[in-house]
Amino acid sequence: MKHFLKYLKTNLYFVLSLFILTASIGVAVFILVEFDLGRRVDQTTVGFIYLGSYEPSEYDGILNQRITQWQDQADFKISYQQYEYSIDINLYELDLEKTVDQIKLDQNNLAYFNISDENKALILSDIETHFTSLLIDDFDIDRFMTDLNNEMQTLINRKIFYLVDYLDESLKDYVIGSYQLSGLSSTLVNQVSSIDAFVISKNARFSLLNTLGTTNLDNEGLSIVASLLQKVTRDAHFEGFIFDPFNNLPSWASPGVNARILKVNGYDFTFYNRFDLDYTVDIEKINETTLLLSLKGYPYRSSYSSTSAVEMIVAYQTIYVENNALTDTTPGVVVTETDTEFIYELEVTPGINGQVIFYYRTFTPLNGTPETVKLYDEAFLPQSRIVEQNIVPKEGA
């Protein structure tokens, strides 16, 4: 009897387990059939718009609503020299019929747009207003409009187009500024003009010593290049100038054309190019005594001009040196007579006042307000006036 009860109990557990398993499978099958959970999820999209949970008959309404919202919010810009212009993509019209007709299930599809000739002309006119006719005359509008349309088809939220990508490459040789320096020796002219054109790299600090330090130019030749650059770059966008001026100006230098290079001492001429564009410097021989430095690159959207102002005068001193040989017959002598003496004076070296000059740059954005900043200053020490003097007492005085 015990064996029978044990057998019955064991088989009862087995029967119950089998029943529960069968019921679970039945419930699972019911759920799968009833709710269609085994069906593959539809991955149909147009750009970022998911259509997998909608019937094809609903596509028109969903796409029209979502793409209209996207056109109001998307940020499409043209960038040039740190200026950005926002493109009005609402000038494009959604081609809803074509967009829906071209939809393929389980794929990421494109949206299609049309633009009228009138609206295309509006975009070009706006671009010219923001970037000047000088640039837009060499602007490939057709290629730009094609790229703009291609990006819009994907319904991305943000895109920056770089104007330089659509400009004629010849514009990179546009002369932004130039300066001639005369009164040089033929040796210096030949030496400096022999160097190759060099590049001011984008988004980087330029160093004259790093660029030309290994050429055959000596300190004076390098100083001439630095001084020419100093003059030309004042009317450009470069900033953060670091250099040492001459204490005593060489014959070829002048205020504002005065940057001293010393290789051993590390006297350099450096500045920062904040644009994402390279610029080229070319130096050529005009004649046996004259050099021309030209700064070349894509034209400016804004204008840059420089001015200078003497902010401080330091008066010179007069130094008298006794010279008993001076008489009223000495050429150039100045005679001053008092009640007690004759004073004979001969100017040997004229005095020159010292001064501190500030250099300013005015930046005027296109259609914008001018802004003036100080670039740097130069200090010139006074040069003493030296006068030879002979004081002769009057007889009986």
> Is there a single domain that holds both residue 181 and residue 100?
no
Count how many domains the chain has. 3
Please give the single-letter amino acid code of residue 230.
Q
> Is there a single domain that holds both residue 97 and residue 53?
yes
> Is there a single domain that holds both residue 292 and residue 264?
yes
Residue 293 and residue 229 in contact, taking contact as beta carbons nearer than 8 Å: yes
pTM, rounded to two decimals: 0.80
Domain-terminating residue out of 117, 143, 167: 167
> Beta strands 49-50 and 113-114: pairing type?
unpaired
Q: What mean pLDDT value characterizes the chain?
A: 91
**Residue 247: per-residue pLDDT:** 86
State yes or no: pLDDT of 337 exceeds 70.
yes
Tell me how far CA of residue 98 lies from CA of 47, 60, 109, in angstroms: 15, 11, 11
In sequence order, what are the residues at sequence separation of 6 or more whose Cβ sits closer than 8 angstroms to the Cβ of residue 126?
Answer: 85, 88
- Domain containing 272: what range? 176-300
The verdict on residue 25 lying in a domain is no
- Cα–Cα distance between 379 and 245 in angstroms, integer? 8
- Cα–Cα distance between 345 and 385 in angstroms, integer? 12
> Is there a single domain that holds both residue 126 and residue 210?
no
Query: Of the given ranges (14-28, 182-196, 227-241), which has the lowest mean pLDDT?
Result: 14-28
pLDDT digits (tens, 9 = 90+) for 305-326: 999 999 999 999 999 999 999 9
> Is there a single domain that holds both residue 180 and residue 271?
yes
The verdict on residue 66 lying in a domain is yes
**What integer is the mean pLDDT of 373-389?**
95
Q: Which two tokens stand for residue 77?
A: 């810009």
The verdict on residue 80 lying in a domain is yes
Query: Within its chain, how far is the Cα of 394 from the centroid?
Result: 74
Residue 127 and residue 166 in contact, taking contact as beta carbons nearer than 8 Å: no
The verdict on residue 27 lying in a domain is no
**Residue 8: per-residue pLDDT:** 46
The verdict on residue 6 lying in a domain is no
Query: Within its chain, how far is the Cα of 27 from the centroid?
Result: 69
Query: Within its chain, how far is the Cα of 265 from the centroid?
Result: 30
Tell me how far CA of residue 39 lies from CA of 32, 34, 44, 152, in angstroms: 9, 11, 15, 33
Judging by beta carbons within 10 Å of its beta carbon (0-12, 13-18, 19+), is residue 103 exposed, middle or buried? middle
Q: Which two tokens stand for residue 242?
A: 């670091």
- Cα–Cα distance between 306 and 286 in angstroms, integer? 25
> Is there a single domain that holds both residue 52 and residue 162?
yes
The verdict on residue 222 lying in a domain is yes
- Cα–Cα distance between 144 and 163 in angstroms, integer? 9
**Residue 13: per-residue pLDDT:** 56
Q: State phi, psi for 283 to the nearest 5 degrees.
A: -120, 125
Bridge partners of 376, per DSSP, are 359
Domain-terminating residue out of 249, 266, 300: 300
> Is there a single domain that holds both residue 334 and residue 242?
no
Q: How many helices (H) and strands (E) does the chain have?
A: 9, 22
**SS3 category, 78:** strand
Query: Of the given ranges (145-149, 156-160, 358-362, 390-394), which has the lowest mean pLDDT?
Result: 390-394
Domain-terminating residue out of 137, 167, 197: 167
State yes or no: pLDDT of 12 exceeds 70.
no
Full DSSP string of 110-122:
PP-EE--HHHHHH
Interior/surface letters 118-131, b for 16+ CB within 10 angstroms, e for the rest: eeeeebeebbbebb
- Cα–Cα distance between 323 and 347 in angstroms, integer? 12
DSSP state of 48: T
State yes or no: pLDDT of 7 exceeds 70.
no
The verdict on residue 2 lying in a domain is no
The verdict on residue 19 lying in a domain is no
> Is there a single domain that holds both residue 135 and residue 196?
no
Torsional sign, CA 9, 11, 15, 18: positive
> Is there a single domain that holds both residue 346 and residue 334?
yes
State yes or no: pLDDT of 240 exceeds 60.
yes
- CATH number of the structural domain spanning residue 318: 2.20.230.10
**What integer is the mean pLDDT of 267-279?**
98
> Is there a single domain that holds both residue 154 and residue 197?
no
State yes or no: pLDDT of 61 exceeds 50.
yes
Q: State phi, psi for 99 to the nearest 5 degrees.
A: -60, -45
- Cα–Cα distance between 204 and 161 in angstroms, integer? 22
pLDDT digits (tens, 9 = 90+) for 200-220: 999 999 999 999 999 999 999
**Region at 380 (left for phi over 0; alpha for psi -120 to 50; beta for the rest):** beta
Please give the single-letter amino acid code of residue 248.
N
> Is there a single domain that holds both residue 66 and residue 138?
yes
**Residue 4: per-residue pLDDT:** 46
> Is there a single domain that holds both residue 65 and residue 54?
yes
